[in-house]
């Protein structure tokens, strides 16, 4: 086992020794191992005796990436005594996309010593007459006063990361072709690619996150480092993370740039470009989840029903990748209007309160086995409940599922449960 200084020193040496750290583009197996170690690393508050381990917070939701993505998968999404556990995040925004003036863009449940956390994520579950559970978040034990009345909330579960590298390789043209195909609105389905404005003013096609807010794995990972762990990086260089100007003690707390010595802009970041690149490379290397084995006749029957009911219109079994391969993730990467039942209270520029990117179904069997709950906030306990929440553009597919004879309905549920 490495001593107290072993991991940070070993990673620092490796970053200096590998060709990629010297400016080359190719990352090798050592780089992936470094990325995996960084993904699992528990970060600590600054200042720490080991330069490579500090910078956590001052406000944060978790101490490591793996806290919310155990085994690279979906978060546990447990609710205990009306309070959300680790793996849930509560997003905050006003209609123009800006964060709350006091609480910022994320309601953080933890903080470094000497800094009050922002509070706890309360969750209200309301049983409905048909057996479903309606779920709504409400912040508890607010540490900095009231939220702005204009701020909306969105409770979300940290998703499975496996296969996201394949989705990153889907050409924009393929996503836009599906958007064009669906423009006719057949069966009410008319998905829309989310256009994301980058900091430099250019436009990109969003594909990652519950509402396709991020165009690539680098920006998605950088936002997670910044909002979830409070770590500055090339996309978010502010050393205090999501602390707002009103949170003065938080802004004035020690940060992980205090012991930087090289003087370069990247060196002043808690997650510099070499570290971010290796974490992104690790996530991109995770293969798409393999479906559970089913007898071939059952799989063919299930796939046929999946298409016949209209599920495959949005949950496309595979998308083409740039290398001529396939991303077998069961999504079209488009935003769809899902009806008021799935709306949060946080519309954002480019995505309405009830618009959601088609969630990949690959890995669903693992989520069911781990009882993480389904949908963006974990409210659905079964495949049937998740389908029953599908309104808006998915209403016709949900109606067709409900009209199936019981044997066909069971066959379709077995098929989807195996993905």
Domains contained in the chain, number: 3
Q: Which two tokens mark 294?
A: 């089913």
Judge if 184 and 327 occupy the same domain: yes
Of the candidates 48, 266, 75, 290, the residue with the CA atom closest to the CA atom of residue 299: 290
d(CA 208, CA 346): 18
8 Å CB contact between 373 and 285: no
* Domain extent at residue 228: 6-70+214-285
Contact residues for 296 (Cβ-Cβ < 8 A; gap 6+): none
- Residue 179 counted as domain residue: yes
* CATH number of the domain residue 297 falls in: 1.10.760
Residues 186 and 332 in one domain: yes
Domain membership of residue 181 (yes or no) is yes
Beta strands in 186-301 (DSSP E): 195-197, 203-205
pTM: 0.91
Q: What's the rounded Cα separation, in Å, for the pair 252 and 183?
A: 51
Same domain for 115 and 249, yes or no, is no
In a domain, 1, yes or no: no
Residues 6+ away with beta carbon under 8 Å from 313: 182, 186, 187, 189, 332, 397
Could you tell me if 45 and 56 are in contact, meaning their C-beta atoms sit under 8 angstroms apart?
yes
Residues 173 and 322 in one domain: yes
Domain membership of residue 60 (yes or no) is yes
Q: Is 343 left (phi over 0), alpha (psi -120 to 50) or beta?
A: beta
> CA-to-CA distance for 184 and 190, rounded, in angstroms?
7
- Average pLDDT of the chain to the nearest whole number: 90
Residue 349 lies in a domain: yes
> Does residue 89 sit in the same domain as residue 152?
yes
Same domain, 236 and 303: no
In a domain, 203, yes or no: no
Last residue of a domain, one of 237, 260, 285: 285
Are 129 and 105 in the same domain? yes
How many Cα atoms within 13 Å fall on the side-chain side of residue 11? 25
Please tell me whether residues 297 and 226 are part of one structural domain: no
CB 237 within 8 A of CB 225: no
Residue 364 maps to a domain? yes
- Whether the upstream peptide bond of residue 340 has omega within 30° of 0, thus cis, is no
* Distance of alpha carbon 292 from alpha carbon 211, whole angstroms: 28
Whether 59 and 87 map to the same domain: the answer is no
Residues 172 and 311 in one domain: yes
Same structural domain for residues 148 and 176? no
Residues 272 and 375 in one domain: no
Q: Per residue of the chain (419 residues), what is the pLDDT tens digit?
A: 333 333 443 443 344 333 333 333 467 899 999 999 999 999 988 876 666 677 899 999 999 999 999 999 999 889 999 999 999 999 999 999 999 999 999 999 999 999 999 999 999 999 999 999 999 999 999 999 999 999 999 999 999 999 999 999 999 999 999 999 999 999 999 999 999 998 888 999 999 999 999 999 999 999 999 999 999 999 999 989 999 999 999 999 988 764 454 556 667 799 999 999 999 999 999 999 999 999 999 999 999 999 999 999 999 999 999 999 999 999 999 999 999 999 999 989 999 999 999 999 999 999 999 999 999 999 999 999 999 999 999 999 999 999 999 999 999 999 999 99
């Amino acid at each position: 086992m490495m001593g107290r200084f072993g991991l940070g020193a070993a990673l620092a040496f490796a970053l200096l020794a590998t060709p990629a750290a010297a400016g080359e583009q190719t990352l090798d197996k050592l780089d992936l191992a470094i990325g995996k170690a960084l993904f699992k690393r528990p970060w600590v508050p600054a200042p720490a005796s080991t330069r490579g381990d500090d910078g956590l917070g001052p406000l944060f939701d978790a101490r490591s990436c793996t806290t919310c993505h155990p085994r690279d998968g979906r978060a546990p999404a447990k609710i205990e005594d009306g309070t959300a556990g680790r793996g849930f995040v509560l997003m905050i925004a006003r209609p123009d996309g800006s964060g709350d003036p006091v609480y910022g863009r994320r309601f953080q449940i933890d903080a470094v010593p000497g800094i009050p956390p922002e509070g706890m994520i309360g969750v209200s579950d309301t049983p409905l007459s048909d057996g479903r559970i309606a779920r709504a978040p409400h912040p508890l034990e607010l540490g900095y006063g009231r939220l702005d009345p204009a701020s909306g909330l969105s409770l979300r579960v940290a998703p499975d990361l496996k296969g996201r590298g394949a989705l990153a390789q889907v050409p924009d043209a393929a996503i836009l072709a599906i958007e064009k195909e669906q423009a006719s609105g057949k069966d009410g389905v008319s998905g829309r690619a989310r256009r994301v404005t980058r900091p430099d003013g250019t436009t990109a096609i969003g594909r990652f996150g519950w509402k396709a807010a991020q165009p690539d794995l680098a920006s998605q990972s950088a936002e997670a480092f910044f909002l979830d762990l409070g770590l500055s990086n090339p996309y978010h260089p502010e050393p205090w993370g999501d602390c707002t100007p009103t949170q003065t003690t938080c802004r004035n707390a020690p940060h992980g740039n205090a012991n930087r010595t090289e003087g370069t802009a990247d060196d002043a970041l808690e997650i510099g470009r070499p570290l971010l690149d290796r974490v992104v490379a690790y996530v991109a290397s995770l293969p798409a989840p393999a479906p559970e084995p089913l007898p071939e006749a059952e799989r063919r029957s299930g796939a046929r029903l999946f298409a016949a009911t209209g599920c495959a219109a949005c949950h496309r079994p595979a998308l083409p990748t740039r290398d001529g391969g396939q991303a077998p993730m069961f999504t079209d990467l488009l935003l769809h209007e899902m009806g008021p039942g799935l709306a949060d209270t946080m519309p954002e520029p480019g995505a309405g309160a009830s618009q959601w990117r088609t969630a990949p179904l690959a890995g669903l069997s693992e989520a069911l086995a781990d009882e993480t709950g389904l949908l963006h906030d974990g409210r659905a306990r079964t495949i049937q409940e998740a389908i029953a929440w599908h309104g808006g553009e998915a209403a016709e597919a949900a109606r067709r599922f409900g009209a199936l004879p019981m044997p066909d309905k069971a066959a379709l549920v077995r098929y989807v449960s195996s993905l």
